[in-house]
């Protein structure tokens, strides 16, 4: 449907960070990630991101979602667009967007592209109660675009205009590359400004339009930590309002932080101080209590997550997790399971109705259905160099304080005696016991305590 150039080369000095400005996170996702998401959802086929400061960080994050151009030295926004010459031979429209404006939605980009039809260059504008020092949009008596006048050049009447330039452009790609060389750096900063394209297109008699964004708050640019916090707050409210309209109960929306990509079923209840990042999917009739953190997690219907952390993992319906449990690295938990207090699971699968109630670590394991773990069980999966897997078949009973030294295979309906260290496979229906036989020394305890 079109192309886009993301201007992301600047250092963002006011952010005071060792990271690229566009890598600062809004609601758990870097700014540049929000922009790429919105452009892709708007139907943009080809994105070129212009990088400079910490460009390798941006490349590593976006990967193949974008092509890249390097702006070095950084000589202004117009110069940055010139660097994206991989698009020079493309047809159609090209969006020019700022890498520090992550709140512009896909719907706004779609509408902007649609409204740009019939124009050679289109400017996205916004109406502000307090337009400050933004460049004013000057229209004729019919409402057609005439020019942009920078604030310092405005007369008193023009300063009263509330429609201003948002700094986002849509241009016919062939004309864009035809006229880019005409931008000059005849200014105090000796930089090339993309805003000069407007006057250049006008001077060649080209048709220019101005499209007013419906929500001026979307145009928010982020230059420092205060603005970053404002953007987080704005997007949080937007996401939370959407979820509540879809039938999700948020006990305290002001203190609930949910990714824009989250999908949550109706009648699910989210308590305050819950954080969800990335692609989180939660079914219907779930309860997520305070202190929970979910990232890239999939939760089935009628589950409870109690003050626990779940990352990169899936949980089937009617399963309870927590309090204070941790699931990570690709866990897949079946239906009607119980994962209780202070349990950690890593790269592990649980079958239907398996119980692991307290103080247990299960890593790199394949666990069947209706298995029961006692308190204090550990899968000993790492020898200092390699990770090994533990396999536990259906119906096994793992006694308290058992160590399973992987690789080891526990058969169906096998029993592992409490306190055992299991180093060999246990057959179906068998009992594994590996502990020193107890011996009592008469009077030794009292003698020791009386020392």
Helix H or strand E encompassing 243: helix 225-245
Name the β-bridge partners of 67: 48
Is residue 338 within 8 Å of residue 321, measured between CB atoms?
Answer: no
User: What is the pLDDT at residue 38?
Assistant: 98
| Helix extents (H) in 91-224 | 106-115, 156-159, 173-179, 196-203
Q: Is the pLDDT assigned to residue 42 strictly greater than 90?
A: yes
**Does residue 126 surpass a pLDDT of 90?**
yes
On the question of pLDDT at 44 being above 80, the answer is yes
pLDDT at 1 over 80: no
Provide the pLDDT confidence category of residue 149 given band limits of 50, 70 and 90.
Answer: confident
- 350 in Cβ contact with 332 (< 8 Å): yes
Yes or no: say if 368 and 386 are a contact pair by the CB < 8 Å rule: no
pLDDT at 151: 84
pTM greater than 0.85: yes
Assign 57 a pLDDT band (cuts: 50, 70, 90): very high
Token reading at 69: 């151009």
- pLDDT for 275: 98
pLDDT-derived band of residue 58, with 50, 70 and 90 as boundaries? very high
Per DSSP, the three-state class of 372 is strand
pLDDT for res 152: 85
Q: Enter the tokens of residue 296.
A: 């890239």
pLDDT > 80? residue 161: yes
- What does the DSSP assignment read for 152-186? GG--HHHHT--EEEEEEEEEEHHHHHHHGGG----
Distance CA 217, CA 193 (A): 24
pLDDT surpasses 80 at 406: yes
What is the dotted CATH code of the domain comprising 247-432? 2.160.10.10
Mean pLDDT of the 357-370 span: 98
Mean pLDDT of 191-200: 92
Domain definitions of the chain by residue range:
3-219, 247-432
pLDDT band at 451 (very low <50, low <70, confident <90, very high): confident
**What are the backbone dihedrals phi and psi of residue 304, each rounded to the nearest 5 degrees, phi first?**
-125, 130
pLDDT (average), residues 374-394: 96
| Dihedral sign from CA coordinates of 65, 126, 152, 202 | positive
Q: Across the chain, how many H-helices and E-strands are there?
A: 9, 39
Confidence of residue 18 (pLDDT cuts 50, 70, 90): very high
What is the mean pLDDT of the segment spanning 158-178? 95
Q: What is the mean pLDDT of residues 44-48?
A: 97
CATH of 3-219 among 3.40.47.10, 2.10.10.100, 1.20.1290.10, 3.90.550.10:
3.90.550.10
Q: Could you list the active site residues? A: 358
The residues, ordered by sequence, that sit 6+ positions from 427 with a Cβ below 8 Å of its Cβ are: 411, 414
Q: What is the pLDDT of residue 209?
A: 94
Contact 202, 114 (CB under 8 A): no
Burial (CB < 10 A; 0-12, 13-18, 19+), residue 57, is middle
Provide the pLDDT for residue 370.
98
Q: Residue 398: its pLDDT value, please?
A: 98
Q: ω before 276 within 30° of 0 (cis)?
A: no
Per-residue model confidence as pLDDT tens digits over 300-329: 999 999 999 999 999 999 999 999 999 999
pLDDT at 186 over 90: no
Predicted pLDDT of residue 189: 82
Where residue 410 falls among pLDDT bands split at 50, 70, 90?
very high
Contact 415, 399 (CB under 8 A): yes
Is 409's pLDDT higher than 90? yes
| 289-305 pLDDT, tens digit each | 999 999 999 999 999 99
Q: What is the pLDDT of residue 132?
A: 87
Is pLDDT of 206 > 90? yes
Mean pLDDT of the 378-385 span: 94
Q: Tell me the CB-side half-sphere exposure of residue 169, using CA atoms within 13 A.
A: 22
Q: Write down the mean pLDDT value for the chain.
A: 96
What per-residue confidence (pLDDT) applies to 188? 80
Long-range contact pairs involving 390-396 (C-beta distance under 8 Å, separation at least 24): 390/362, 390/364, 390/365, 390/366, 391/365, 391/366, 392/365, 392/366, 392/367, 392/368, 393/368, 393/428, 394/351, 394/368, 394/369, 394/370, 395/368, 395/369, 395/370, 395/371, 396/368, 396/371, 396/372
Cβ within 8 Å of residue 101, ≥6 positions away: 35, 167, 168, 219, 220, 221, 222
């Amino acid at each position: 449907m079109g192309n886009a150039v993301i201007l992301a080369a600047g250092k963002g000095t006011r952010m005071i960070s060792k990271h690229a400005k566009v890598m600062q996170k809004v609601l758990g996702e870097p700014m540049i990630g929000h922009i790429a998401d919105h452009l892709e959802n708007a139907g943009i086929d080809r994105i070129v991101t212009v990088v400079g400061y910490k460009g390798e960080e941006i490349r590593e994050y976006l990967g193949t979602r974008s092509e890249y151009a390097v702006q070095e030295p950084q000589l202004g926004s117009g110069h940055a667009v010139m660097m994206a010459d991989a698009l020079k031979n493309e047809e159609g429209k090209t969006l020019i967007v700022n890498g520090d404006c992550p709140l512009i939605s896909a719907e706004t980009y779609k509408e902007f592209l649609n409204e740009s039809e019939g124009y050679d260059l289109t400017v996205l504008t916004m109406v502000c109660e307090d337009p400050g020092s933004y460049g004013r949009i000057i229209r004729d008596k019919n409402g057609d675009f005439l020019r942009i006048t920078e604030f310092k050049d405005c007369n008193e009447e023009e300063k009263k205009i509330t429609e201003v330039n948002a700094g986002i452009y849509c241009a016919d790609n062939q004309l864009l590359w035809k006229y880019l060389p005409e931008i000059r750096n005849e200014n105090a900063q000796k930089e090339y400004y993309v805003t000069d394209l407007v006057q250049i297109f006008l001077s060649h008699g080209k048709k220019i339009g101005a499209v007013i964004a419906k929500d001026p708050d979307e145009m928010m640019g982020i230059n420092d930590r205060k603005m970053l916090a404002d953007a987080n707050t704005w997007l949080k409210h937007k996401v939370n309002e959407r979820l509540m309209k879809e039938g999700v109960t948020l006990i305290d929306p002001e203190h609930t932080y949910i990714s824009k990509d989250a999908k949550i079923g109706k009648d699910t209840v989210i308590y305050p101080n819950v954080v969800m990042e990335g692609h989180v999917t939660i079914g219907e009739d779930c309860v997520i209590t305070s202190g929970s953190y979910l990232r890239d997690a999939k939760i089935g219907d009628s589950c409870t997550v109690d003050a626990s952390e779940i990352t990169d993992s899936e949980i089937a319906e009617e399963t309870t997790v927590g309090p204070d449990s941790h699931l990570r690295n690709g866990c897949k938990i079946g239906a009607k399971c119980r994962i209780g207090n202070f349990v950690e699971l890593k790269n592990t699968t649980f079958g239907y109705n398996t119980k692991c109630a307290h103080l247990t670590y299960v890593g790199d394991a394949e666990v069947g259905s209706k298995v029961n773990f006692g308190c204090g069980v550990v899968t000993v999966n790492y020898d200092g160099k390699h990770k090994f897997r533990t396999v536990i078949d259906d119906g096994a009973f793992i006694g308290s304080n058992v160590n399973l030294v992987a690789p080891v295979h526990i058969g169906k309906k096998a029993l592992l005696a409490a306190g055992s260290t299991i180093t060999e496979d246990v057959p179906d229906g068998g009992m594994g016991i590996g502990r020193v036989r107890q011996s009592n020394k008469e009077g030794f305890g009292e003698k020791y305590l009386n020392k």
